[in-house]
Amino acid sequence: MTLEILRIDDIRKYYGLKLILNGLDLSLNRGEHMALVGENGVGKTTLSRIILGDEQADSGTIRLSVNAEIAYLPQEVSGDDETTVQRYIEEATGALASLREKMQ
């Protein structure tokens, strides 16, 4: 069994003429943690959307382990006015709670 969960090689992404991601390389192994931190407009959401498959990179490769599960909580929430923040988070992270229970 391989330890590598996520591998990103030489990802590039443009929006028009603006280069957002330039030759990004990343490797994430089982048991490691990662956080995307940076100023607005530097590509955190773009990278997240590329990893999720919601957006395509202009070049480069992404390999995700077959059994990998990704949970993503977008920074902008759409929903009705009656949904509480707590309920939204519980719905968005439900798979994580189930996975955590299985692992314990």
Every domain of the chain and the residues it spans: 1-70, 74-104
Q: Please give the CATH superfamily to which domain 1-70 belongs.
A: P-loop containing nucleotide triphosphate hydrolases (3.40.50.300)
SS3 45: helix
Look at the pTM and tell me if it is higher than 0.95.
no
Torsion angle in degrees (nearest 10) through CA of 74, 96, 54, 68: 150
Q: Report the C-alpha gap between 57 and 73 in whole angstroms.
A: 21
Lowest mean pLDDT, pick from 44-48, 77-81, 86-90? 77-81
pLDDT for res 67: 81
45-to-8, 59, 62, 85, 87 alpha-carbon distances in Å: 15, 17, 16, 20, 23
What pLDDT digit, counting tens, does each position of 15-56 carry? 999 999 999 999 999 888 888 888 988 899 999 999 999 999
